[in-house]
């Protein structure tokens, strides 16, 4: 494998690691949104607030949480598309490396590295 191929492979793996981290951040964010949506606001138990205010606040909070969850799902769909693209690029790099190794003299170590991607 040529030095530039190794650098490219390393960069692709770094991108994959960032995607995995981003996935976990989105999942955590969705869990927090669900918690907020399902929990009542203790401040609204104060006698200064009417039932109408409580209902309005609760409904508004649930509506905004649902909007946030829709956006999180949109971001997850975009992330899945990017992950598929990255998988395709990694496959192309691997195929190119295998093809190059056939012309340069087959090296079993290069083949193993490609399969590990």
- pLDDT score at 114: 54
- pLDDT score at 115: 47
- pLDDT score at 9: 82
- pLDDT score at 72: 98
Domain ranges of the chain: 3-116
What are the residue ranges in the chain where pLDDT is below 70? 1-5, 101-117
- pLDDT tens-digit profile of 59-87? 999 999 999 999 999 999 999 999 999 99
* Distant-in-sequence, close-in-space partners of 53: CB < 8 Å, separation ≥ 6: 44
- pLDDT score at 59: 94
41 C-beta neighbours (distance < 10 Å), count? 13
């Amino acid at each position: 494998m040529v030095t530039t191929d190794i650098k490219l492979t390393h960069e692709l793996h770094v991108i994959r690691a960032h995607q995995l981290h981003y996935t976990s951040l989105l999942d955590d964010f969705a869990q927090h949104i669900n918690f907020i949506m399902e929990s009542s606001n203790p401040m609204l138990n104060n006698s200064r607030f009417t039932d109408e205010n409580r209902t309005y606040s609760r409904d508004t909070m649930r509506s905004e949480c649902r909007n946030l969850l829709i956006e999180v799902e949109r971001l997850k769909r975009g992330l899945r598309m990017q992950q598929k693209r990255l998988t395709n690029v990694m496959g192309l790099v691997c195929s190119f490396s295998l093809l190059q190794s056939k012309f340069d003299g087959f090296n079993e170590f290069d083949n193993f590295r490609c399969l590990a991607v």
